[in-house]
A and B are shown apart, each in its own frame.
Chain A
Amino acid sequence: MSDREIIIAWLKRVERRIRTNRLFRELTFGSTLFFIFPLGLKAWDLFSPFRARTLTIFFTLWAVGFGAYLVWRLLQKGTIGQAAASVDTKAELHDEIKTALWFIDNPRSSEWVDTQIRRAARDAQAINLDRLYPRNVPRTSYLAVAMILVFVALNFVPLSWNHNWLTLQAAPAFTLTDKEQAILELTKELLIRAEKLQQSELAKRLEDIIQKLEEGKIDPSQAAELLEDIQNQLGEGNLDLGSINDGLEEIAKDLQQFEKTRATANALMEKELQIAADELRKLAEQLQKNESSKELEQSLQQASENSRPGLEDLTKDLKEAAENLKNRDQQNAQDALQQAAQELEKLQQKMEAQQLKNLAGQQLQSLEQSLRQRQQNGQQSRKDQQQGQPQSAQGEKGQAEQGDSEGSSQQSSLGEEGQADQLSRLPGEAGAAQPGSNEGSGLNPSGQRGGNAPREGAPTELDVKLQAEKLAGMKDQGTKPEDIEEASKQERSRLDYRNVKSELSPAQKDLLNQDRIPWEYRPLIKNYFQAIRPTPGGGGPAGHQQNSSSSRPVGPTPTDKK
Chain B
Amino acid sequence: MSTAIDQQVETFQEQFKRVREEVSKVIVGYEEIIDGVIMSMLAGGHVLLEGVPGLGKTKLVSTLSDVMRLKFSRIQFTPDLMPADITGTNVVQEDAMGEKFLEFQPGPIFSNIVLADEVNRATPKTQSALLEAMEERSVTVGKRTHKLDSPFFVLATQNPLEMEGTYPLPEAQLDRFFLKLKVDYPTKDSLHTILNRTTKNKEPEVNRVLGQGEVLDMRKTVRAVPIARPVQDYAIRITLATHPRPPFALPMTYKYVRYGSSPRGAQALVIGGKIRALLKNRVHVSCDDVRAVAYGALRHRILLNFEGEAERVDTDTIIKGILESTPEPN
Assess whether B283 is interfacial by the CB under 8 Å rule.
yes
Asked if residues B284 and A95 are in contact (CB atoms below 8 Å), the reply is yes
B224 to chain A: which residues have CB within 8 Å?
Answer: 112
A94 to chain B: which residues have CB within 8 Å?
Answer: 280, 282, 286-289
Given A96-B282, A96-B284, does the pair A115, B231 have CB atoms closer than 8 Å? no
Asked if residues A115 and B5 are in contact (CB atoms below 8 Å), the reply is yes
Asked if residues B286 and A111 are in contact (CB atoms below 8 Å), the reply is no
Assess whether A394 is interfacial by the CB under 8 Å rule.
no
A111 CA / B286 CA spacing, docked (Å): 18
Beta-carbon contacts of B1-27 to A below 8 Å, as 1s and 0s? 001111000000000000000000000
A118 to chain B: which residues have CB within 8 Å?
Answer: 3
A95 to chain B: which residues have CB within 8 Å?
Answer: 228, 231, 284-288, 328
Could you say which of B3, B6, B228 contacts A99, with CB atoms under 8 Å apart?
B228
Residues of chain A from 115 to 132 with CB closer than 8 A to chain B in the complex: 115-116, 118-119
B3 to chain A: which residues have CB within 8 Å?
Answer: 111, 115, 118
Beta-carbon contacts of B273-313 to A below 8 Å, as 1s and 0s? 00000001011111111000000000000000000000000
Residues of chain B from 213 to 228 with CB closer than 8 A to chain A in the complex: 224-228
Asked if residues A85 and B330 are in contact (CB atoms below 8 Å), the reply is yes
Assess whether B144 is interfacial by the CB under 8 Å rule.
no
Assess whether B329 is interfacial by the CB under 8 Å rule.
yes
Assess whether A106 is interfacial by the CB under 8 Å rule.
yes
Assess whether A380 is interfacial by the CB under 8 Å rule.
no
In the complex, which residue of chain B has the Cβ closest to the Cβ of A89? B328
A106 CA / B233 CA spacing, docked (Å): 15
Residues of chain A from 31 to 90 with CB closer than 8 A to chain B in the complex: 81-82, 85
Beta-carbon contacts of A112-153 to B below 8 Å, as 1s and 0s? 110110110000000000000000000000000000000000
Interface size class of A (residues with CB under 8 A): 20 to 34
B284 to chain A: which residues have CB within 8 Å?
Answer: 95-96, 99-100, 116
A431 CA / B67 CA spacing, docked (Å): 132
A82 to chain B: which residues have CB within 8 Å?
Answer: 330
Residues of chain B from 62 to 120 with CB closer than 8 A to chain A in the complex: none
Asked if residues A102 and B228 are in contact (CB atoms below 8 Å), the reply is yes
Asked if residues B283 and A115 are in contact (CB atoms below 8 Å), the reply is yes
A133 CA / B328 CA spacing, docked (Å): 21
Asked if residues A116 and B226 are in contact (CB atoms below 8 Å), the reply is yes
Could you say which of B5, B229, B289 contacts A112, with CB atoms under 8 Å apart?
B5
Asked if residues B330 and A102 are in contact (CB atoms below 8 Å), the reply is no
Assess whether A24 is interfacial by the CB under 8 Å rule.
no
A387 CA / B287 CA spacing, docked (Å): 67
In the complex, which residue of chain A has the Cβ closest to the Cβ of B234? A95
Asked if residues B288 and A110 are in contact (CB atoms below 8 Å), the reply is no
B282 to chain A: which residues have CB within 8 Å?
Answer: 94, 96, 119
Main secondary structure of the interface of A (DSSP, over half): helix
Asked if residues B283 and A119 are in contact (CB atoms below 8 Å), the reply is yes
Assess whether A103 is interfacial by the CB under 8 Å rule.
yes
Assess whether A98 is interfacial by the CB under 8 Å rule.
yes
In the complex, which residue of chain A has the Cβ closest to the Cβ of B330? A85
Residues of chain A from 141 to 169 with CB closer than 8 A to chain B in the complex: none
A116 CA / B226 CA spacing, docked (Å): 9
Given A94-B282, A95-B287, A112-B224, does the pair A102, B229 have CB atoms closer than 8 Å? yes
In the complex, which residue of chain A has the Cβ closest to the Cβ of B3? A115
A119 to chain B: which residues have CB within 8 Å?
Answer: 282-283
Given A94-B286, A96-B286, does the pair A111, B5 have CB atoms closer than 8 Å? yes
Main secondary structure of the interface of B (DSSP, over half): loop
A119 CA / B284 CA spacing, docked (Å): 10
Asked if residues A98 and B228 are in contact (CB atoms below 8 Å), the reply is yes
Assess whether B230 is interfacial by the CB under 8 Å rule.
yes
B229 to chain A: which residues have CB within 8 Å?
Answer: 102, 106
A116 CA / B9 CA spacing, docked (Å): 12
A96 CA / B224 CA spacing, docked (Å): 17
In the complex, which residue of chain A has the Cβ closest to the Cβ of B230? A102
A158 to chain B, nearest CB (A): 55
A110 to chain B: which residues have CB within 8 Å?
Answer: 226
Could you say which of A85, A98, A103 contacts B226, with CB atoms under 8 Å apart?
A103
A99 to chain B: which residues have CB within 8 Å?
Answer: 226-228, 230-231, 284-286
A111 to chain B: which residues have CB within 8 Å?
Answer: 3-5
Asked if residues B226 and A112 are in contact (CB atoms below 8 Å), the reply is yes
Residues of chain B from 180 to 207 with CB closer than 8 A to chain A in the complex: none
A119 CA / B283 CA spacing, docked (Å): 9
B226 to chain A: which residues have CB within 8 Å?
Answer: 99, 103, 108, 110, 112-113, 116
A85 CA / B231 CA spacing, docked (Å): 12
B230 to chain A: which residues have CB within 8 Å?
Answer: 98-99, 102
B6 to chain A: which residues have CB within 8 Å?
Answer: 115
A95 CA / B288 CA spacing, docked (Å): 8
A406 CA / B284 CA spacing, docked (Å): 84
Asked if residues A98 and B5 are in contact (CB atoms below 8 Å), the reply is no
A4 CA / B3 CA spacing, docked (Å): 18
In the complex, which residue of chain B has the Cβ closest to the Cβ of A78? B330
A182 CA / B288 CA spacing, docked (Å): 83
Most buried by A among B226, B227, B328: B226
A113 CA / B224 CA spacing, docked (Å): 10
A413 to chain B, nearest CB (A): 76
Beta-carbon contacts of A391-415 to B below 8 Å, as 1s and 0s? 0000000000000000000000000
A70 CA / B50 CA spacing, docked (Å): 59
Could you say which of B225, B283, B289, B329 contacts A98, with CB atoms under 8 Å apart?
B329
A96 to chain B: which residues have CB within 8 Å?
Answer: 282, 284, 286
B286 to chain A: which residues have CB within 8 Å?
Answer: 94-96, 99
A454 CA / B288 CA spacing, docked (Å): 91
A-B contact pairs, 25 of them (CB 8 A): A81-B330, A82-B330, A85-B330, A94-B288, A95-B286, A95-B287, A95-B328, A96-B282, A98-B230, A99-B230, A99-B284, A99-B285, A103-B226, A110-B226, A111-B4, A112-B225, A112-B226, A112-B283, A113-B226, A115-B5, A115-B6, A115-B283, A116-B283, A118-B3, A119-B282
State the B residues within 8 Å of A (CB): 3-6, 224-231, 280, 282-289, 328-330
Given A94-B282, A111-B5, A112-B225, 13 extra CB contacts under 8 A: A94-B286, A95-B287, A95-B328, A96-B286, A98-B230, A99-B285, A102-B229, A103-B228, A108-B226, A111-B3, A112-B5, A116-B226, A119-B283
State the A residues within 8 Å of B (CB): 81-82, 85, 94-96, 98-100, 102-103, 106, 108, 110-113, 115-116, 118-119
What are the 8 A-B residue pairs with the smallest beta carbon separation, nearest first?
A: A94-B286, A95-B286, A102-B228, A99-B228, A99-B284, A115-B5, A116-B283, A116-B284
